Amino acid sequence: MIADFDYQFFIEVLVGGLLSGVMYSLVAIGFVLIYKTSGVLNFAQGAMLLFAALTFVSLVERGIPFALALVITFAIMVTMGVAIERTVLRPLTNKPPITLFMATLGLSYIIEGAAQLIWGTQVHGLDLGIEDVPLEIGGVLISQFDIFAAVVAAGMVLLLSLFFRYTRIGLSFRAVADDQFAALAVGLRLPLIWGTVWAAAGLVALVAGLLWGARLGVQFSLSLVVLKALPVLVLGGFDSILGAIVGGLLIGASEKLAEVYIGDYFGGGIESWFAYVVALVFLLIRPSGLFGQKLVERV
Amino acid sequence: MTAITGSFSSAPVLPKWIVPFLLLAFAYGVVPLIGSSYLFEAILLPFLALSLAGVGLNILTGYAGQVSLGSAAFMAAGAFAAYNFNLRVEGLPLIGSIFLAGIVAAAIGIVFGLPSLRLKGFYLAVSTLAAQFFVQWALTKFSWFSNDSASGVIDAPKLSIAGFAFDGAVGRYLFALTIVTALTFLAYRLVSSQTGRNFIAIRDNETAARIIGIPVLKTKLLAFAISSFIIGVAGVIWAFAYLRTVEPDGFDLDRSFQILFIIIIGGLASIRGAFFGAALIVVFPLALSRLGGFLLGDVFDSGVLDMSQRIVLGALIILFLILEPDGLVALWDRVRRRLLFAWQST
């Protein structure tokens, strides 16, 4: 069996897996952004993604030009971020993180329901104007769309990393993430910071929503990509953007390879849980993910 | 996370057992006589199954502080295990199948609880999703579990214990009520025992619990085992007594969230809370569809109903977290204390 191992095919599967992993990373970055600044696992990220994509598509279908629709959707996402901060997060300041997590669970129900109540439940096609013709690079076929997605993801990561490291507001984000109470005490304006970060998460949701929407069609199941992003987060560590990327690549590659090479032994369809098992195995070795911050426990 | 509520509320006039006793007397003596079959089929049976699942999850999440998003997987495991024991083991009484199903669910619970030994908080919550997806996948993939039935949907066996058949809606109601009562009583005893206090200690501060000598690892696994046992039996009731069929689709991620919502709305770390929460979760969609149909007429079709249910449910969760973090139980206790006070001062 080893003798006639098809390396060409192996590399094609691997590259395809890595690139689809980038798509997972795109969603995961939105989570990391909010986790870094508020210590909240924002389960509503998927719903926000659905909402952004659905709003954009519906605007374009109503004859609004591409660029304008993008601006309007972004404005809506920012408004939503600010509204979430005002109505949900502010009353829950200084509550345990798990309470905030449950609040975002409720939030995801509201946003999903609202998105479909406003824009309807039918499936929309989304054309970003990128042709999905496979390119041949070094004898391996690679989807052009995947490369585009990878470039977008790379750009976004670069931007966010610079922002967190070098700007004043980026630094205050990190202070808030470290200790809300202390950040309040030294006079950081928590509402402003949370509002900004949720708006940024809205932007990430918009970008991810458009790319995923172009791939899968814009519909309810789009909000389920959250479930694909969670193992990526666990693997990479909730508070590391680099982790989200590396985790995405690892999950994407191992998932595809497993599906192709060992999936048959299980009767196929293992992609629904395989990523979680990979993440769990990693976690047993490193409990806060690959790049996550170590917890120091005190009594 | 939350304080234990209600254990020393101000009702010194009545002994503590009187309220549950009266409720049970009402549930056994009066409800079967006056209830319509709609009441049993659409409200009481799902209420009982979900309450029990809520009690189970509350032991794990409310008392021991380990958030689980995979409850529906354990319900599914319980339901399918009971079906298969009943089908494949000759002469095993139904109650034996149900007990063994609970054991199977507990075993699966321990396996998926193993990560809790190293993981905390969100990492653990996400890893419990593995249980959700794996169990659902296994049950759909391997037709052995559903006895090679083509549609994957199978009829539940007749409910009978020691020759006495629980037929019809009322029979199934009494069957479910008895199991729920027994397990709830045991759960109540458990949380007021040393083990229950160990759970709470681990929830409140794991490191401190370890220092005062609580065997943290063993206790966590025990919490997973007991919680999964109860949730597994709740799954049996859901499938055998309420739906009368066993199918993997009903035990999806939304069901897991539903059970989590039940304990948030009802009150974390409160056995009574699960019942309050389940009552709200079961009655609220029915009420909303009636109300919507009445107010809006034809505009309110099933699609709109589904969406507005999601919105209102999500809003309820957030409202409870902000305004009443200890849930309906705390609300109820406060109202009761006020009433009692008003009554005493007249």
ipTM of the complex: 0.82
Q: Is residue A286 part of a domain?
A: no
Cα A297 to chain centroid distance, Å, stands at 29
Strand partners, B155: B245
Nearest CA in chain B to A297: B207
CB contact under 8 A, A299 and B304: no
Q: Which residue has the higher pLDDT, B101 or B295?
A: B101
- The confidence band for B182, taking pLDDT boundaries of 50, 70 and 90, is very high
Tell me how many degrees the CA angle A197-A201-A207 measures, rounded to the nearest 5.
145
CB contact under 8 A, B137 and A234: no
Q: Is the pLDDT of residue A236 over 80?
A: yes
pLDDT tens digits along A168-208:
887 887 787 777 778 888 888 878 888 888 888 888 899 88
Q: Is residue A271 part of a domain?
A: no
pLDDT tens digits along A94-113:
787 778 888 998 999 999 98
Q: Is residue A10 part of a domain?
A: no
CATH architecture of B18-345: Orthogonal Bundle (1.10)
Check: CB of residue B278 under 8 Å from CB of residue B259.
Answer: no
- Distance of residue A58 Cα from the nearest chain B Cα, in angstroms: 18
CB contact under 8 A, A109 and B317: yes
Q: Is residue A202 part of a domain?
A: yes
Nearest CA in chain A to B306: A113
Q: Is residue A53 part of a domain?
A: yes
Domains of chain B, by residue range, sit at 18-345
Mean pLDDT score of chain A: 82
Strand partners, A134: A143
Nearest to A109 among B130, B142, B314 (CB): B314
Total domains, chain A: 1
Check: CB of residue B60 under 8 Å from CB of residue B128.
Answer: no
Lowest-confidence pick of A159-168, B39-48, B199-208, B220-229: A159-168
d(CA A228, CA A278): 12
d(CA B293, CA A256): 48
Q: Is residue A90 part of a domain?
A: yes
Check: CB of residue A68 under 8 Å from CB of residue A86.
Answer: no
| Residue spans of alpha helices (H) in chain A | 7-38, 45-61, 66-84, 97-119, 144-166, 168-178, 180-185, 190-216, 225-236, 241-261, 274-285
Find the domain containing A107 and state its range: 22-229
Q: What is the DSSP string of A230-293?
A: HHHHHHH-TT-HHHHHHHHHHHHHHHHHHHHHTGGGGTS-GGGTHHHHHHHHHHHHSTTTTTPP
CA of B172: how far to CAs of A51, A224, B20, B278, in Å? 43, 36, 21, 18
**Is the full-model pTM beyond 0.90?**
no
Check: CB of residue B224 under 8 Å from CB of residue B112.
Answer: yes
Q: Is residue A145 part of a domain?
A: yes
Q: Which residue has the higher pLDDT, B338 or B122?
A: B338
- The confidence band for A126, taking pLDDT boundaries of 50, 70 and 90, is confident
d(CA A243, CA A232): 8
- What average pLDDT does range A204-230 have in this prediction? 84
Amino acid identity of B155? Answer: D
Contacts with A117 from chain B: Cβ below 8 Å: 304, 307-308, 311
pLDDT tens digits along B247-261:
888 888 889 999 999
Contacts with A103 from chain B: Cβ below 8 Å: 317-318, 321-322
Query: Does the beta carbon of B217 lie under 8 angstroms from any beta carbon of chain A?
Result: no
Contacts with B309 from chain A: Cβ below 8 Å: 113
Check: CB of residue B305 under 8 Å from CB of residue B289.
Answer: yes
Q: Quick one: tokens of A224?
A: 């389920």
Q: Is residue A134 part of a domain?
A: yes
Nearest to B311 among A101, A110, A273 (CB): A110
> What is residue B114's DSSP assignment?
G
- The confidence band for B6, taking pLDDT boundaries of 50, 70 and 90, is very low
